[in-house]
């Protein structure tokens, strides 16, 4: 199966969770909007495709299927890409963990856009400062502490005892947060030894390392989900 990934071409964004899975598995795929421009996304959103109507990118075309929502795409890709264990209970757990990553990613997005994603950051900067403080002080310790406990309960090396797409997504989450909040993450990571070690191991997987060193890995930037605004980080 040759997959087609549709996602905005200028950012890592939510598409990156899918890209990491495809790259790590060595799957054949085309990153369509990077080849053809973002306009290639629009016919799907406008309903030109007979099947499922995606609400937003990323979505994946797999043969005639169109599948949207990051966690669902990973749930779909897990078995053919060997990125999820066999048992039903672990597959359910993988998806639950991925949905919890989805939740924290949305909260990270909203920390720089707490009023409206349609407004500029500069037009909601005061609100962003309040929300980012809550994220750094309450929500991130809660979410990341949760994932640390999940690792601890499962032997320490993987979210699910075996390697899975959840490990890849946890790597991406930690990488993004290192970019967004370098000071706060230095503080928080003291309590997250397993997550830190997992991220390092994932980054060293041969295909992941090759991908991260390639031009296909865009740099984080201030159009994506993970944005660095120094005034939103811990005070110096």
Residue ranges in contact with its own copies by CB under 8 A: 47, 51-55, 64-65, 67-69, 71-72, 76, 89, 92-93, 95-96, 99-100, 103, 106, 110, 114-116, 118-119, 124, 127, 130-131, 134, 138, 143, 146, 149-150, 153
Q: What is the DSSP letter of 181?
A: -
Closest approach, Cβ 108 to its own copies, in A, equals: 13
How many C-beta neighbours within 10 Å does residue 98 have? 25
Q: What are phi and psi of 163, to 5 degrees?
A: -60, 145
Given the complex with its own copies, which of 149 and 216 has the nearer CB atom?
149
β-strand partners of 68:
59
Can you list the positions of beta strands (E) in the chain? 3-6, 29-31, 59-62, 65-68
Listed in sequence order, the residues at least 6 apart from 35 whose beta carbon sits closer than 8 Å to its beta carbon are none
Nearer to its own copies, 92 or 209 (CB): 92
Q: For its own copies, which is the closer residue by CB, 158 or 205? A: 158
Angle between helices 165-180 and 193-204 (to 10 degrees): 110
**Rounded Cα–Cα distance for residues 80 and 95 (Å):** 15
Least gap, CB of 204 to its own copies (angstroms): 27
| Rounded least distance, CB 199 to its own copies, Å | 20
Nearest-CA neighbor of 174 among 193, 153, 157, 155? 193
User: Closest CB to its own copies among 149 and 187?
Assistant: 149
**Residue (50 or 214) nearer to its own copies, CB:** 50
State the nearest-atom distance from the C-beta of 67 to its own copies, in Å.
Answer: 6
């Amino acid at each position: 199966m040759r997959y087609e990934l549709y996602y905005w071409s200028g950012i890592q964004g939510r598409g990156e969770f899918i890209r990491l899975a495809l790259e790590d598995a060595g799957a054949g795929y085309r990153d369509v909007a990077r080849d053809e421009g973002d306009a290639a996304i629009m016919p799907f959103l406008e309903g030109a495709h007979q099947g499922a109507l995606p609400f937003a990118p990323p979505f994946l075309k797999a043969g005639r299927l169109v599948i949207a929502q990051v966690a669902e795409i990973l749930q779909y890709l897990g078995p053919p890409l060997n990125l999820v264990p066999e048992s039903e209970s672990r597959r359910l757990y993988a998806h639950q963990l991925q949905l919890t990553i989805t939740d924290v990613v949305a909260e990270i997005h909203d920390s720089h856009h707490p009023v409206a994603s349609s407004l500029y950051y500069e037009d909601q900067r005061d609100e962003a400062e309040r929300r980012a403080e809550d994220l750094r002080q309450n929500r991130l310790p809660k979410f990341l502490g949760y994932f640390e406990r999940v690792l601890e309960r499962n032997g320490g090396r993987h979210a699910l005892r075996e390697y899975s797409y959840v490990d890849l997504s946890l790597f991406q989450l930690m990488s993004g947060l290192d970019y967004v909040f370098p000071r706060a993450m230095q503080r928080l990571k003291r309590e997250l030894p397993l997550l830190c070690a997992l991220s390092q191991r994932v980054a060293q997987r041969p295909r992941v390392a090759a991908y991260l060193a390639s031009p296909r890995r865009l740099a984080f930037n201030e159009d994506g989900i993970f944005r660095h605004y120094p005034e939103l980080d811990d005070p110096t």
